[in-house]
């Protein structure tokens, strides 16, 4: 298993495909986040110098991805953490889940880019496992930093 930034256009296409799967899995539209424009301009806000992308591969197959974008000069946001269902039980060589390894990887990218705080939003009810993961990594609940039409949106932050 490997977790690395995209190396070429094929990797970017794989990440884009994973983000589409992620959106389809939610059961609601991401139109309020302008998801269609995000994909049309991909990698867009996730490109350097303020952004980052990571792709997880298992035996050469795209298994998961995560993105990072700048919100303010010292604040960034983790977006679209997704692991394909077939790989959710897969562990890294040090025993981490792919989701945890991707999250730790993007946290490291945020630090390298000089950010002081990493924010995220998630759906507390539908993504309870994600909320547990984030809390176990030190994320804490914060007030909303943007409006969401989804009633149980949880906003979290990690001081880097």
Give the pLDDT band of residue 93 (cuts 50, 70, 90): confident
Residues 6+ apart with CB under 8 A from 82: 18, 19, 21, 22, 25, 64, 65, 66
Tell me how far apart the alpha carbons of residues 97 and 87 are, in angstroms, rounded to a whole number.
9
- Of 159, 151, 76, which is closest to residue 120 (Cα–Cα)? 76
* Average pLDDT score, the chain: 94
Residues 6+ apart with CB under 8 A from 114: 74
> Which segments of the chain does DSSP mark as H helices, in order?
9-26, 35-40, 98-112, 128-136
Tell me if 123 sits within 8 A of 32, measured CB to CB: no
pLDDT score at 28: 76
pLDDT score at 26: 82
pLDDT over 80 (residue 32): no
Give the pLDDT band of residue 83 (cuts 50, 70, 90): very high
Cα angle 110, 114, 118; round to 5: 40
Secondary structure (DSSP) of 47-86: STTT-EEEEEEETTEEEEEEEEEEEETTEEEEEEEEE-GG
Straight-line distance from the first to the last Cα atom of the chain, in angstroms, rounded to the nearest whole number: 26
Lowest-pLDDT choice from 12-16, 71-75, 127-131 = 127-131
pLDDT score at 96: 92
- What tens digit of pLDDT does each residue of 95-118 get? 899 999 999 999 999 999 999 999
pLDDT over 90 (residue 63): yes
Tell me if 54 sits within 8 A of 106, measured CB to CB: yes
pLDDT over 80 (residue 30): no
The length of the chain in residues reads 160
pLDDT score at 55: 99
Domains of the chain in start order, with CATH, are 2-116 (3.40.630.30)
Assign 4 to helix, strand or coil: strand
pLDDT score at 132: 94
């Amino acid at each position: 298993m490997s977790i690395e930034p995209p190396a070429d256009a094929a990797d970017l296409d794989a990440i884009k495909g994973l983000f589409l799967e992620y959106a389809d899995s939610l059961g609601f539209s991401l139109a309020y986040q302008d998801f269609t424009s995000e994909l049309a301009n991909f990698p867009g806000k996730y490109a350097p110098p303020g952004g980052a992308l990571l792709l997880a591969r298992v035996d050469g197959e795209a298994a998961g991805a995560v993105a990072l974008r700048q919100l303010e000069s010292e604040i960034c946001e983790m977006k679209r953490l997704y692991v394909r269902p077939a790989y959710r039980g897969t562990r890294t060589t040090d025993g981490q889940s792919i989701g945890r390894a991707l999250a730790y990887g993007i946290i490291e990218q945020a630090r390298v880019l000089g950010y002081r705080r990493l924010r995220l939003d998630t759906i507390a009810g539908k993504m309870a496992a994600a909320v547990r993961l984030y809390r176990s990594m030190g994320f804490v609940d914060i007030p909303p930093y943007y409006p969401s039409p989804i009633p149980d949106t949880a906003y979290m932050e990690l001081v880097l």
